[in-house]
Structure 1
C-alpha cells in the first residue's frame, strides 16, 4: 500500500524536496498586495484515516472564492453577474463563492470551478439584443441618475426662491423619486 502523504519523509528526503519548491515572493508582504495580485482563493481539504481505502469523497470538494470588486466589472456586467450567480454572492463580504464537487478528482473540480467563473464573467459582459430595448419602466430597480424624473425636480429646486434651503431638502428629491418610480411601474 502506498502512503498518499509526505508525513513519512525523513529529513534528508525533505531537504531534497526543497530543491523543487520556490520561496514566497518578498514583494507580497501585506494582505492587500496578496489580494490585489492573487484575487482567487481555492480551498480544499485532505483527510487522513486508516482504512482499507485511501480515498475519501470529501477530499474532492473545492471552494473557489473571489472578490467581486477584483473582477473590474461595469454596472451592466455586475448587475448581470449578480443575477447569474444568485445565492453564491455574499453582499456583506463582496465575495463570490463557487463550490464544486461533481467531478471525481480534485483537480477536475478546480478546473470546473474556474470554468464556471470564466462563464459567469464572460456572460455578464455580453449584451443581448433585448437588453438594448429596455426602457426606464422595464428596469429592475429605479436609478435616479439620468432618469426622466431627475431633470424636472432639479429645475423645480432651482426655481425655488431660497436655493440654500432647497439644497438642504434631499427628502423632497427622495419623495419625488419614490413617487416617480411607483408611477412608472403602473404606467
Structure 2
C-alpha cells in the first residue's frame, strides 16, 4: 500500500506491525477505540540514520514539512510538585512551553523534560516519542493545526519507523486537549 503522504513505498496498517512498535504503542493500537479505525493508523519503515528533519524530508518528500508533527514531554512545576505532560505540534513550529503550556497546566514553571525522564516515563525511544501509547493520566496538549491536517506523520515509539495517522484521530487520545497557538512560529534568526 502506498502512503497518503510522503514518498514511502510500503505503508501497512499499524495493527499488522505491532512487533515494530514499542510495548506502550503496540498496546494502545491493540486497544484502539477511536472514531478512526485502527487500520487507518499506518506504519512506515524508516532509517534512523536519516531521522534529522532536513535529511528526512529530502529523502521522503517535501510535503512532509507541512504534515509532520513532533511529540515532546514537558515537566510542569507547581508548589514543589512536578508533573509530566506531552505536547504535539507541527514540526515547522516549536512548543510554546513558557506561554500556552505553562498557563494551561497551571504551572509556575514548565520546561522540556530531561531525556532520561521522557524515555523512562514513556517506555519509548528518544526521537521517536509519539502521542499514541502515552500514560493515560498525562495531559496531552495538541496544537489545533495538527488535528486539522488530513494526515500527519508522527513517531512510532522508536527512532526506526513512523506512523501516518489522520490528524483528527489524535484528538480522541486519552487526556487530549486541542489548543490554538500551542505551536508557536519558530524564532527568526
- Give the TM-score, by structure 2 length: 0.20
Higher helix share: 1
Higher strand share: 2
The structure having more radius of gyration, on CA atoms, is 1
Which has the higher relative contact order, 1 or 2, with Cα contacts under 8 A spaced 6 or more apart?
2
- Give the TM-score, by structure 1 length: 0.20
